Structure 1
Amino acid sequence: MANEMKLFSVTNERPLALKIAENLGVPLCEVELQKFSDGEVKINVEESIRGTNCYVIQSMNSNVNERLMELLIMIDALKRASAHTITVIMPYYGYSRQDRKARSREPITAKLLANLIQRAGATRLISVDLHAAQIQGFFNIPIDHLSALPLLSARLIEEYGNEENLVIVAPDHSGVVRARRVADKLHAPIAILNRKPRPNEREITSIIGEVEGKLAIVVDDIIDTGYRATTSAEKLLEAGAREVVTCATHAVLAGDAAERLAASPISKIFVTDSIDVVGAKKIDKMEVITIGPALARAISGVQENRSLHPLF
């Protein structure tokens, strides 16, 4: 007989966690979260979890460092309360862009984060569209790496499936595989923006592929400051594209990114709720697609020891 399932969300901002709980038909367990005047976090689980399978939903949204400390403290609390297993559901893996040493004396912070999560006591991780797939190798516990691209592709087919002049665009060379997966679904060619390889670099030197007269759909994994999305759109329109649509899994939307995107020539933006898009960040041209049901299926599969292959 399987151990009982217990579902947790650490932060008070938890619309995605509520969707997952609704799809599973399992209530979120009560967690007391206190923050002291100096920023310290104290957590108390309000019910017995001895011998249960615990699932902790915590995306690295808003303040990444604060979310991380909440997660580590929560894992420690569950471990000390004799949880049988502790599965972390982290739709957006913070620090994922620091996955290698690009220059001397740089840290590999994505690996450090993996070490912290494992040392705290997590026994499994579920994440969505990691910035670099090799991050899975940073862990010595099971990793379920899900993709939101099928959901985004299905919505794009629904909206633009009848378009004849369509091109899927990778915003840089590292995004070609991601763009190819979407292009295969839409039976469309791809183009690549040749960009200087620096964080949020605005200069695009050339475009590989034909975009003139076409509806260009830029496929990315993260929209952070919005610079890459807006400069991509400007370059594509300058090259003759008649319209630019952008889609991405993770809407970080740091700083004034929402305002930048609202003022940009992008006609439509599709993102998921891997990170909560609330308040002023939810602009009129943005559509948020939920990954709640997919994550619920993943949790159910782990709980019942079923294959998660259809979700990859």
Structure 2
Amino acid sequence: MSDRSPNYSGPRALSFQAPQGDLAVLTGSGNPMLSQAIANELGVRLTPCTAQVFSEGNVFVRILENVRGKDAFIIQGVHNPVNDNFMELLFWIDALKRASAQQVTAVIPFFSYAKGDKKDEPRVSIRARVCADALEAAGADRVLTMDLHSPQIQGFFSIPVDHLYARQVVSEHIKSLKIPDLVVCSPDIGFAKDASAYANLLHVPVVIGNKQRKDHSESAEVLEVIGQVDGKNVLMVDDFTTTAGSLCSMAELLKSRGANDVYAAVSHGVLSKGAGPRIAESVIKKMFITDTIETPADPLPDKVQVISVSKLFAQAIRSIHDRTSVSMLFPDTKPVD
């Protein structure tokens, strides 16, 4: 624990087998509670390990038992403190490779630098690509993550990337609430495809918001909503929220267009300082986030509910270890051979 808070038969038959040795699941400092929940779902114990931060900020990691020949999964999200967590992840990967783990999978519940996926201004870094190169250089054999801000980031890697979607878990919870006259709302055009996937799972219509971001601030101006919301209950969906400013503004706009109750669901509740009180004071009736991030800057208000994705991550880890299809976990997507 951290000290910080398919067989193929044909003319030339090939046999693909799981690595020799046991499954090793480790937790870094970023997601100790989610890691324990994943281990519980898998029916395994977390491999003993420790991370220590020295007074000058230097990070030291150590695995406390033999992992030689094992299929190792290190669970470490890249969220606040982003750079510390990312460097620690690199050190865990290096430690596992030097300890002769047969395969090392970096399990990254939230990959913050996925926002830096393009060069859309002069003289800027494509940060997600730099991070991808660093993970491979450290020795990662594959990556398991959830709801990347831009799915094409998978193409930055030359190693396999398994991309999970929280909407499977979140939608099941929303269904259990039996909200009448529900419509799904995307906060902007960019998330429209994902919002449609939510709507398909819930069997409800979808509407699209229109927002504009003038600079690198973490809030955007909501301009309009495209679609009918009058007399409807609305579920706003997004991959993450930092300040919750855009969601709260969108909720106000939806109410002004005649919406009844407004809900919000985001995969990653980054929730920087001030976001909690802003949500509490907003017209949002209930907000759903997952447990990919364990360190909100403010206490979560009562209207924020955390939904665990531990079972989904455990199923994916088991599939990777057993060499079965991860895509079969997503009935809303067509399996690819």
TM-score under structure 2 normalisation? Answer: 0.88
Structure 2: tracts of 5 or more residues without a match: 1-17, 331-337
Q: What is the match of residue 313 of structure 2?
A: 295
Superposed, 1:224-303 pairs within 5 Å as: 224-276=242-294, 280-303=298-321
Instruction: State the alpha-carbon separation in 1 of the partners of residues 45 and 279 from structure 2.
Output: 36
The one-letter code sitting in structure 2 at the alignment partner of 1:131 is H
Q: What is the match of residue 53 of structure 1?
A: 71
CA shift for structure 1 position 258: 1.0
Q: What is the match of residue 79 of structure 1?
A: 97
Say if 2:180 is the partner of 1:158. no
The counterpart of 1:172, out of the listed 188, 200, 203, is: 188
2:62 counterpart SS class: strand
Instruction: State the alpha-carbon separation in 1 of the partners of residues 123 and 291 from structure 2.
Output: 35
Instruction: State the alpha-carbon separation in 1 of the partners of residues 153 and 81 from structure 2.
Output: 21
Instruction: State the alpha-carbon separation in 2 of the partners of residues 26 and 210 from structure 1.
Output: 49
Instruction: State the alpha-carbon separation in 2 of the partners of residues 280 and 130 from structure 1.
Output: 24
Assess if the C-alpha contact under 8 Å between 1:87 and 1:123 holds in 2: yes
TM-score under structure 1 normalisation? Answer: 0.95
Q: How many residues get paired?
A: 310
CA shift for structure 1 position 279: 8.5
Instruction: State the alpha-carbon separation in 1 of the partners of residues 285 and 183 from structure 2.
Output: 15
Which moves more between the two structures, 294-303 or 187-196?
187-196
Say if 2:206 is the partner of 1:204. no
Say if 2:116 is the partner of 1:91. no
Assess if the C-alpha contact under 8 Å between 1:251 and 1:277 holds in 2: no
Say if 2:175 is the partner of 1:189. no
Say if 2:327 is the partner of 1:309. yes
Structure 1: tracts of 5 or more residues without a match: none
The one-letter code sitting in structure 2 at the alignment partner of 1:232 is M
Assess if the C-alpha contact under 8 Å between 2:272 and 2:298 holds in 1: no
Instruction: State the alpha-carbon separation in 2 of the partners of residues 240 and 103 from structure 1.
Output: 39
Assess if the C-alpha contact under 8 Å between 1:183 and 1:189 holds in 2: yes
Instruction: State the alpha-carbon separation in 1 of the partners of residues 97 and 221 from structure 2.
Output: 48
1:295 counterpart SS class: helix
Instruction: State the alpha-carbon separation in 1 of the partners of residues 209 and 197 from structure 2.
Output: 17
Which moves more between the two structures, 230-239 or 131-140?
230-239
Assess if the C-alpha contact under 8 Å between 2:271 and 2:296 holds in 1: no
Superposed, 1:93-108 pairs within 5 Å as: 93-108=111-126
Stretches (4+) displaced over 6 A: none
CA shift for structure 1 position 249: 0.5
Assess if the C-alpha contact under 8 Å between 1:61 and 1:92 holds in 2: yes
1:92 counterpart SS class: coil
CA shift for structure 1 position 203: 1.8
Assess if the C-alpha contact under 8 Å between 1:61 and 1:275 holds in 2: yes
Change (3 A) 1:12 1:155: closer
Instruction: State the alpha-carbon separation in 1 of the partners of residues 205 and 270 from structure 2.
Output: 28
Q: What's the CA shift string for 1:91-139, capped at 9, x where partnerless? A: 1112111111222222111111111111000001001111111011010
Instruction: State the alpha-carbon separation in 1 of the partners of residues 198 and 268 from structure 2.
Output: 16
Instruction: State the alpha-carbon separation in 2 of the partners of residues 150 and 32 from structure 1.
Output: 33
2:115 counterpart SS class: coil
Superposed, 1:18-29 pairs within 5 Å as: 18-29=36-47
Instruction: State the alpha-carbon separation in 2 of the partners of residues 75 and 160 from structure 1.
Output: 44
The one-letter code sitting in structure 2 at the alignment partner of 1:297 is Q
Instruction: State the alpha-carbon separation in 1 of the partners of residues 50 and 323 from structure 2.
Output: 30
CA shift for structure 1 position 188: 1.6
The counterpart of 1:134, out of the listed 137, 145, 152, is: 152
Say if 2:120 is the partner of 1:111. no
CA shift for structure 1 position 13: 5.4
Assess if the C-alpha contact under 8 Å between 2:30 and 2:79 holds in 1: no
Assess if the C-alpha contact under 8 Å between 1:195 and 1:201 holds in 2: no
The one-letter code sitting in structure 1 at the alignment partner of 2:189 is H
Change (3 A) 1:38 1:142: same
Q: What's the CA shift string for 1:163-208, capped at 9, x where partnerless? A: 1x32210001101011101111222221111111445343222211
2:264 counterpart SS class: strand
